[in-house]
Amino acid sequence: MRKTTVRLAVGAGLVVLGSWLAGIGTASATMPFQKKAKELGFPAQNCQYCHVEKLPKKGASTNNERGAWLASEKTKRGAKEIDVAWLKDYKEEKK
């Protein structure tokens, strides 16, 4: 009886841990990000301002150069969330 209880407790703990780790995932864009970017004067007409996909899915999106830069700034600054105001420091590469 005791072994069964221990196994159930360990199993439940692993499920909770796995769910938590899956939830923290990667940073993804949200409509408030796009709205704030527009308010700050950036030409963010759709998700493709920072992503390759038209409608990126959480955890399965691909960043374009601007989005990759924002993600690296998040890491560099040790921020919990991307701040679109950082875009004022972004220098687009000339092609």
Q: 66, 49 in Cβ contact below 8 A? A: yes
pLDDT in tens, 43-61: 999 989 999 988 888 778 8
What residues have CB less than 8 Å from 52, skipping those under 6 apart?
61, 62, 63, 64
Q: Which two tokens stand for residue 23?
A: 């939830």
- 24: pLDDT strictly greater than 80: no
User: Percentage of the chain with pLDDT > 90?
Assistant: 43
The pTM of this model reads: 0.63
